[in-house]
């Protein structure tokens, strides 16, 4: 049950929270449907979404990474242009706003001061705000016009896991709901697809031994690591690198596969771990080209692919889910790799140095 605040038999909250992700997906499916099995959303939120000519997503850390994935849903499914901004940067370089902007704040805690500063500012300008948060009643939830709860249950480990996947799932629900309200025909039922995702997540969380071994092989002694992906996979690569940095203190970077050659490839040495993600058919060929480029310079490459796109050399194959929702499954091995890397390096998994669960100062 994801509402528990005890570790139970788990050695760390992070591992427990990783394992809870299938339950959280099922909670979201239940909470966002009516008795007839249709999507259920507050009618004022529907109106606000319908009215918006552009969405500005504001967030920090892992929530920002969820926003990058959410932009794809909102643009591809509900046909609204979306900008995603790091909260702490937004105020310095506020973009030209559209005529009818809607601000979406994504925040696990609902207390992040950088995000709140933006909320205060845009309210002064008279713009509407919707907060996606795991803590209804939190500051960002109270001060925004609307709230969408994540239903992830308390997240205690500093490194965010189940809140990230909950944010992405709720953004998918919101995008499809908006498409329906706008009369856009879609061949995509998010509730059905999330049920498939929940099962796929379970398949992966049952492969811990395999992932622990990979973490040992790739991260036991390394000082740095690179995650690469293209398109959607690039966003997950950024989140994967953040997870590894946060809890194992390995210097890590998530890169767009095609951008590596414009500088970063200079850092590849004999044995440098490069983790490549490939879950989208249209990038499968090119990301594998990037893997060859780094392997030719000595990189220790680990390829994680979706079923159907896999090749013999791939170390880990993800169960198939709808192509739009692959971040929900591809992030799970990334979380587990980071977890085991931290464990084997004797790091304090749940309370990494210098970090706080929610940052209430700007
Ligand atoms: C802190 C946490 C991160 C989190 C970020 C944003 O830095 O350590 O894990 O992603 O804040 O938090 P929020 O609660 O706004 O999602």
What tens digit of pLDDT does each residue of 90-110 get?
989 999 999 999 999 999 999
Confidence band, pLDDT 50/70/90 cuts, at residue 24? very high
**Protein residue closest via CA to atom 13 of ligand 1:** 107
Does 88 contact ligand 1 (Cβ within 6 A)?
A: no
Give the tens place of pLDDT for each residue, 59-76.
999 999 999 999 999 999
Instruction: Give distance in angstroms: CA of 110 to centre of ligand 1.
Output: 9
Instruction: Give distance in angstroms: CA of 111 to centre of ligand 1.
Output: 9
**Protein residue closest via CA to atom 5 of ligand 1:** 61
| Distant-in-sequence contacts of 126-130, Cβ < 8 A, 24+ apart | 127/97, 127/101, 127/102, 127/103, 128/48, 128/102, 128/103, 129/102, 129/103, 129/104, 129/105, 130/45, 130/48, 130/102, 130/103, 130/104, 130/105
What is the per-residue pLDDT for 3? 80
Instruction: Give distance in angstroms: CA of 293 to centre of ligand 1.
Output: 34
Does 355 contact ligand 1 (Cβ within 6 A)?
A: yes
What is the per-residue pLDDT for 91? 87
Does 358 contact ligand 1 (Cβ within 6 A)?
A: yes
Nearest-angstrom CA–CA distance, 257 and 288 = 9
Instruction: Give distance in angstroms: CA of 302 to centre of ligand 1.
Output: 28
Instruction: Tell which atom from ligand 1 comes closest to the C-alpha of 62.
Output: 10
CA 312-319-82 angle, to 5 degrees, is 110
Confidence band, pLDDT 50/70/90 cuts, at residue 131? very high
Instruction: Give distance in angstroms: CA of 262 to centre of ligand 1.
Output: 30
What is the per-residue pLDDT for 272? 97
Enzyme catalytic residues: 357
What is the per-residue pLDDT for 338? 98
Mutate to test the pocket of ligand 1, among 87, 357, 362 (most ligand atoms within 8 A of CB): 357
* Model confidence at 7: pLDDT above 80: yes
Tell me the average pLDDT across 221-247: 97
What is the per-residue pLDDT for 177? 97
Tell me the average pLDDT across 32-51: 96
Give the tens place of pLDDT for each residue, 197-223.
999 999 999 999 999 999 999 999 999
What is the per-residue pLDDT for 340? 98
Does 109 contact ligand 1 (Cβ within 6 A)?
A: yes
What is the per-residue pLDDT for 64? 98
Tell me the average pLDDT across 277-302: 97
* Model confidence at 1: pLDDT above 80: no
What is the per-residue pLDDT for 161? 98
Nearest-angstrom CA–CA distance, 291 and 289 = 5
pTM score, whole prediction: 0.98
Tell me the average pLDDT across 341-358: 94
Nearest-angstrom CA–CA distance, 31 and 253 = 36
Does 160 contact ligand 1 (Cβ within 6 A)?
A: yes
Confidence band, pLDDT 50/70/90 cuts, at residue 294? very high
Give the tens place of pLDDT for each residue, 305-342.
999 999 999 999 999 999 999 999 999 999 999 999 99
């Amino acid at each position: 049950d994801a509402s528990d605040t005890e570790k139970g038999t788990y050695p760390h909250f992070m591992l427990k929270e990783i394992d809870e992700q299938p339950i959280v997906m099922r909670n979201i499916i239940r909470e966002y449907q009516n008795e007839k099995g249709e999507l259920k959303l507050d009618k004022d939120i529907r109106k606000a979404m319908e009215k918006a000519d552009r969405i500005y997503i504001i967030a920090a850390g892992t929530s920002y990474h969820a926003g990058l994935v959410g932009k794809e849903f909102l643009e591809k499914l509900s046909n609204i242009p979306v900008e995603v901004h790091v909260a702490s940067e937004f105020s310095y370089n506020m973009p030209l706003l559209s005529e009818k902007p809607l601000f979406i704040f994504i925040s696990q805690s609902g207390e992040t001061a950088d995000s709140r500063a933006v909320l205060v500012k845009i309210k002064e300008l008279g713009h509407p705000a919707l907060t996606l948060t795991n803590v209804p009643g939190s500051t960002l939830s109270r001060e925004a016009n609307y709230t969408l709860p994540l239903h992830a249950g308390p997240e205690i480990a500093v490194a965010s896991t189940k809140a990230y996947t909950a944010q992405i799932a709720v953004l998918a629900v919101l995008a499809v709901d908006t498409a329906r309200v706008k009369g856009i025909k879609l061949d995509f039922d998010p509730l059905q697809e999330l049920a498939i995702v929940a099962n796929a997540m379970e398949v992966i969380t049952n492969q811990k031994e395999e992932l622990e071994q990979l973490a040992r092989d790739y991260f036991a002694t390394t000082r740095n690591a690179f995650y690469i992906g293209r398109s959607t996979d690039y966003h997950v690569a950024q989140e994967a690198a953040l997870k590894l940095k946060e809890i194992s203190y390995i210097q890590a970077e998530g890169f767009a596969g095609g951008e590596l050659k414009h500088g970063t490839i200079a850092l590849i040495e004999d044995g440098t771990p490069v983790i490549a993600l490939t879950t989208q058919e249209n990038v499968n060929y090119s990301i594998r080209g990037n893997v060859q480029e780094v392997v030719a310079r000595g990189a220790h490459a680990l390829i994680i692919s979706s079923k159907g796109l896999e090749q013999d050399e791939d170390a880990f194959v993800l169960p198939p889910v709808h192509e739009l929702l692959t971040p929900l499954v591809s992030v799970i091995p990334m979380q587990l790799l980071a977890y085991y890397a931290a464990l084997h390096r004797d790091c304090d998994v749940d309370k990494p140095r210098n970090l706080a669960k929610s940052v209430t100062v700007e």
